[in-house]
Structure 1
Amino acid sequence: MAVAVALPMAGCSMFDKKEDVAPDEPADKLYNEGLAGVSSGDYAAASKKFAEVDRQHPYTDWGRKAVLMTTYANYRAGKYDDAVISGSRYVQLHPTSPDAAYAQYLVAMSYYNQVPDISRDQERTRKAVDAFEELVRRWPNSEYAETARNRIMVARDQLAGKEMQVGRFYLSRRDYTGAINRFRVVVSQYQKTRHVEEALHRLVEAYMALGITGEAQTAAAILGHNYPDSEWYKASFQLISSGGLKPQENTDSWISKAFRGVIG
């Protein structure tokens, strides 16, 4: 005969156990500890405190401010990728906040501070330009807009310089079509950089080498019209003249169309 045996019920079974969870710390306490870290220059510790505010007290004013301060602390610590993530999150969550422009500025500066030398890939430079342009577009009257405009000019000059470097390389290898494509980018997209004069002269060189004299004459004419005292124009004029030609603009040329209404 089967006998039912009643098992004693323990006061606390293994299924009833709960992990001890530390209670949330007051938001103002954590936030002030983060500020203390910023004041002492310990940005890594500050970032952790602000992150805890955000984690423990989301959707509060303390949490909102903590996301911005996390961005600032990461930026000052040189943790630029983390600053981009938290700054972008702040702008996305709080686009109408008075501090949104500053968050976007920190995102842009995080990219800008990672701009490499001209021999390397310029992806960070392009992202810096995009981030600064967004700042100017969305907050044109903010206190950061003028700095953003200046940084855009510097970064675009860097991008143009990269195109020039590659174009010169192709030119040295007598890959004239490849060189023209690079110089065309400078002339079409970066007319207001310091590289445009040389780009026009290099187009004269490449087109003359290919025997496409009409485009060479147009490049020289536009260079002379906009930069008559340029050493690059003197070199272009000499090269054109050596072929029995003179600078003459063809208004149907892509070079003429690229400059129309931009310079001159």
Structure 2
Amino acid sequence: MISKITLKEILLAAALVAFVGCSSAPEDKDVELILKNQGAQGLYQDAKNKMKMGNYGAATEALSSLDSRFPFGPLSHQVQLDLIYGYYKSGKTDEGLAIIDRFIRLNPNHSDVDYAIYMRGLTNMEVDRNLFQELVGIDRSDRDPSNSRQAFNDFRRLIEKFPDSKYAADAQKRMLHIKSRLAKYEIAIARYYMRREAFVAAANRGRYVIENYYDTKHVQEALEIMVECYDQLKLDDLKDNAMKTLKLNYPNSSFIS
């Protein structure tokens, strides 16, 4: 009886292996077939066609296969650049950042390195974005903005190193958007401190917004937080200075009476 059960288990395991092999084989077979009949150029063209059709998952599979099989071939740089875009469009941000960093490290003087840096910024912005929250209208401005900060640094690096890049203007606009995101985060944290009656910490967050994100729409709110916190702390001189600045720049604020 024991031997029969063992035999059944072996046959079942073999069947499962065969099933898994059959289910995963077609893509590999397609790649092998294209490489055999048309070569690397044919596989690359097939990946480009998939990219044009919006099938980024299949396109990146083919491009990744090319990249691993021909890492130093004549198509290698273009394959990697297309992979960067394909990973970005398919939401594979970890893979995208990995190949971006590899491309920049190995090709610091390549004519398209500015594009790679630009895409690094876009990819880091994508990591920070939460589509579900945006769709249902949930404000989570208090979530960790580390990837937004990294994206800001990416775009700043691009502008500083390649001021004439065709991506520089868009990078500048995105930096302004990121600054607004970072300022909103500071405001959210300041509000949290105020609810806990940590008024010194809240006022410091407000001051940080004014000093670092003075060109965003959140300066008024930062000043109002400072006025309220200094009032709670009985710091009349600091309160008066913040109120004067608020009156001068935002005369319609509800804090002004």
Query: Matches of 2:252 and 2:173 in 1, distance apart?
Result: 25
Hey, what does 1:175 align to over in structure 2?
Answer: 198
**Contact 1:71–1:87 under 8 Å retained in 2:** yes
Q: Distance in 2 between matches of 1:51 and 1:96?
A: 23
Aligned mate of 2:111, from 98, 101, 104: 98
Q: Distance in 2 between matches of 1:182 and 1:48?
A: 46
Deviations 1:41-100 (A, max 9, x none): 221221122222222222233111111111111111111221111122222222222221
- In 1, Cα distance between equivalents of 2:215 and 2:53: 43
Tell me whether 1:47 sits opposite 2:66 in the alignment.
no
Q: What is the rounded CA distance, in whole Å, between the counterparts of 2:185 and 2:213 in structure 1?
A: 12
Does the C-alpha gap of structure 1 residues 230 and 145 become closer, same or farther in structure 2, counting only changes over 3 Å? farther
What is the aligned partner in structure 1 of residue 25 from structure 2? none
User: Which letter does structure 1 place at the counterpart of 2:57?
Assistant: A
Q: Residues 170 and 33 from structure 1, CA distance in 2 versus in 1: closer, same or farther, beyond 3 angstroms?
A: same
Amino acid at match of 1:119: D
Please give the per-residue CA displacement for 1:166-195, whole angstroms capped at 9, x wherever unaligned: 111222332211211221221221111111
Scaled by the length of structure 2, the TM-score of the pair is 0.76
**Distance in 1 (alpha carbons) for counterparts of 2:55 and 2:250:** 55
Which residue in the other structure is 1:189 paired with? 212
Could you list the per-position Cα deviations for residues 87-119 of structure 1 after superposition, in whole angstroms to 9, with x for gaps in the alignment? 222222222222212222222111112324313
Greater radius of gyration (CA): 1
Output aligned runs, 1:1-264, within 5 Å.
Answer: 26-116=39-129, 117-225=140-248, 227-231=249-253, 235=255, 237-238=256-257
Give me the CA root mean square deviation.
Answer: 2.1
Q: How far off is 1:228 after superposition?
A: 4.6
Aligned to 1:61, what secondary structure does the other structure show? coil
Q: State the shift of 1:30 in Å.
A: 2.4
List alignment gaps of at least 5 residues for structure 2.
1-31, 130-139
1:54–1:64 Cα contact (<8 Å) kept: no
* CA displacement, residues 221-264 of structure 1 (integer Å, 9 cap, x when unaligned): 22333x153415xx1x43xxxxxxxxxxxxxxxxxxxxxxxxxx
* Matched position secondary structure for 1:114: helix
Contact 2:145-2:182 within 8 A present in 1 as well: yes
Percent of aligned pairs with the same amino acid? 27
- Asked if 1 retains the 8 angstrom alpha-carbon contact of 2:220 and 2:250, the reply is no
- Asked whether the equivalents of residues 142 and 189 of structure 2 are also in contact (C-alpha less than 8 Å), the reply is no
Could you tell me which amino acid in structure 2 is paired with residue 38 of structure 1? M
Deviates more, 1:203-212 or 1:55-64: 55-64
| TM-score, structure 1 as length reference | 0.74
Hey, what's the Cα distance between the residues in 2 that align with 1:37 and 1:184?
51
Assess, with a 3 A threshold, how the Cα gap between structure 1 residues 216 and 91 changes in structure 2: closer, same or farther. same
CA distance in 2 between counterparts of 1:76 and 1:228 reads 41
Query: Where has structure 1 moved over 3 Å in runs of 4 or more?
Result: none
- Matched residue of 1:131: which SS? helix
Q: Which runs of 5+ in 1 are unaligned?
A: 1-21, 239-264
- Structure 1 Cα separation of the partners of residues 174 and 52 of structure 2: 28
Deviations 1:191-224 (A, max 9, x none): 1111111111211111121111111111122233
Q: Distance in 1 between matches of 2:121 and 2:193?
A: 32
Secondary structure of the structure 1 residue equivalent to 2:164: coil
User: How far, CA to CA, are the matches of 2:147 and 2:52 in structure 1?
Assistant: 30
